Structure 1
Amino acid sequence: MTISLKKATYIEHATLIEAIFSDLKQYNINVAGCHNPIEATTEFFHAKPASVSNENKHSFIAFYNDIPIGIIDIINHFPFDKTSYIGLFAILEQYQGKHVGKRIFTTLEVLCKKTLHTHTLRLGVKKSNPVNGFWEKMGFTLISVKEDAYVMEKDII
């Protein structure tokens, strides 16, 4: 089983990302609420806090044996220096529960540590999306509860 992450760009990969969003049916129900795949793709590539520069926004496609099965969005140095915020980590449903997500996350963790020089990973999990267990298995701990989300972190230094 080969896992790889490829940097995604809007010009080269928008159609592929749109197809992945179309297949993320449970994600669309739990998180986005019947999200339009075209709008979701545009948001995936361009949404970021105003204080974040474009060079700190990273979009990836996750491959399993050269098959695109997921998408990942990272904002580096957010909300603090040496912290990378995982804005989206979505794996196609047919690959969930098979330890593929764990292998993709491990690959992402190494990339963040070695390439982005990250010391801490942070993410928010919408309360409507029951994936806290996965993130706890990956070593994340709950640091705060917001109105609609759980904020989790993991130190990777």
Structure 2
Amino acid sequence: MAKALARRAMLELQAEMAAIGHQCLQVPHLSEQRELLSRLAVMLGVGAEVAAVVPVLGDNRAGLHQALEEVVRMACDGCRWSAPWAAHLHFALEVAAEVMMDDTVLAMRVLPGARALAGDIMAGRIRPHAITPLVTPEHYKNKRNAGPPDAMREVETCNV
């Protein structure tokens, strides 16, 4: 029963993520986007937390963490939107949605922490080191270079 409720909640989050992703591609560069950054922090925060534990493809774990770091950086910079990051953040939302569905129970467990991060952004008390550096789990290190590079790896290495 709990797993079914968590899955339903994740499906609702995925629908919200699609709307947020669309918004990422439309907002003007350097405009104040406190609410958008707050919403991104929730979704990417949950995705990054789940990806830190469960196996994910390619460099998607690092890509999600990088996307969340960029959201925090923008929030610390007066919540000014950086349009060059829009496509990366949009794609990171898609990856986060997939990762969340891989472990819905874990996603629901880490949701309060992601919401707290979003609350800090909304309240203007976010700090540059609000998220901890990414540590690759031991079970993932051996698989890191297996398989072809995926889209997140390509986006992650772009200089934007």
Same fold (TM over 0.5): no
Structure with more of its chain in strand, by fraction: 1
Structure with more of its chain in helix, by fraction: 2
- Could you tell me the TM-score, scaled by structure 2's length? 0.28
- Could you tell me the TM-score, scaled by structure 1's length? 0.28
